[in-house]
């Protein structure tokens, strides 16, 4: 998924610095979503 987005950014001519920023933001959002979903899941099992 990250590669797909990276390829899209290259095709759009986005600066490599901003490509790395976008990748970092995607990773952080994915980790936060995973944490939130795990917490909800563990609360629902109680």
Q: How far is CA 41 from CA 35, 37, 44, in A?
A: 10, 6, 5
Say if residue 43's pLDDT is above 90: no
H/E/C letters for each residue in the chain?
A: CHHHHHHHHHHCCCCHHHHHHHHHHHHHHHHHHHHHHHHHHHHHHC
Taking residues 19-36, what's their average pLDDT?
96
Give the torsion through C-alpha atoms of 19, 15, 6, 22, to 10 deg.
Answer: 20
Say if residue 46's pLDDT is above 70: no
């Amino acid at each position: 998924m990250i590669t797909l987005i990276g390829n899209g950014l290259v095709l759009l001519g986005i600066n490599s610095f901003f490509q790395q920023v976008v990748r970092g933001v995607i990773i952080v959002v994915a980790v936060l979503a995973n944490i939130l979903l795990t917490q909800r899941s563990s609360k629902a099992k109680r």
